[in-house]
Amino acid sequence: MKFISWNVNGLRACVGKGFEEVFRNMDADFFCIQETKMQEGQLDLSFPGYESYWNYAEKKGYSGTAIYTRHTPLSVTYGMGKEEHDTEGRVITLEMEDFFLVCVYTPNSQDELRRLDYRMKWEDDFRQYLLSLRSRGKGVVMCGDLNVAHEEIDIKNPATNHRNAGFTDEERDKMTVLLDSGFKDSFRMLHPDTVLYSWWSYRFKARERNTGWRIDYFIVSDDLSSKITGAAIHTAVLGSDHCPVEVDMDL
């Protein structure tokens, strides 16, 4: 099975930049989207052979997630069951026959780290949510924009970004705690020394200079890690300040 995840930074804008062609070319079983920045009814975007599921933020033009799937889920859950986290459209979970697929758009800690405390609470609650899914006897495939570059290899300029949102010790430590609780970073598992990024600032010609961050992931529970057959970051795909990431699994 082929899984794709892409933060499109506004789906309506991305459609105007070739999203539909990218979608068809990717030919994925599951195509997960973050930062749709939409409300229900603002875009009619369907593809033959796919069902789609959407979680919208209450705030207009903000956040939002979606999943297109060729495989009908047993159930669909929106959010993680905590009101303080579930108004921004950040989580969709599909229960499949043999695994759970979770699409997530992790909150950014923002300038001057003004949302870092909230981010820390989110991290703990989201990890517990993933573990609760795992306790139901199925593996978990989680993907999305996690808004953290985990290791120094995952960011172009680690020294100068040390206290910037997405590369604080606190955020990186929470990622370590998640992985230590029974999950694998699929790309890093297969490509331990490969330097590739998935996000570039729109400022200072960052993408042209490849001054990027790897903040988009497929995180897979340990019991499914042996099923991973490939992992990729599609740096040549344009249309957003992020590029799509991929994992292939024998499920």
Active site residue 145: yes
For residue 126, CA distances in Å to 169, 215, 229 come to 18, 17, 26
Question: What's the first-to-final CA gap in the chain, in angstroms?
Answer: 6
To the query of whether residue 53 is one of the catalytic residues in this protein, the response is no
Take residue 195 and report the two structure tokens written for it.
């330097």
Q: Copy the structure tokens of residue 70.
A: 């060729």
Give the Å distances, CA to CA, from 48 to 43, 51, 52, 76: 16, 9, 11, 20
Residue linked to tokens 């001054």: 211
Dihedral over Cα of 236, 26, 21, 63: its sign: negative
CB contact set of 152 (below 8 Å; sequence gap of 6+): 158
CA distance 57 to 35: 10
Of the candidates 53, 56, 68, 145, the residue annotated as catalytic is 145
Residue tagged active-site, from 53, 68, 105, 197: 105
* CB neighbour list of residue 32: distance below 8 Å, 6 or more residues apart: 3, 4, 5, 6, 65, 66, 67, 68, 92, 101, 103, 143, 144
SS (H, E, C) 12-53: HHHHCCCHHHHHHHHCCCEEEEECCCCCCCCCCCCCCCCEEE
Catalytic residues: 105, 145
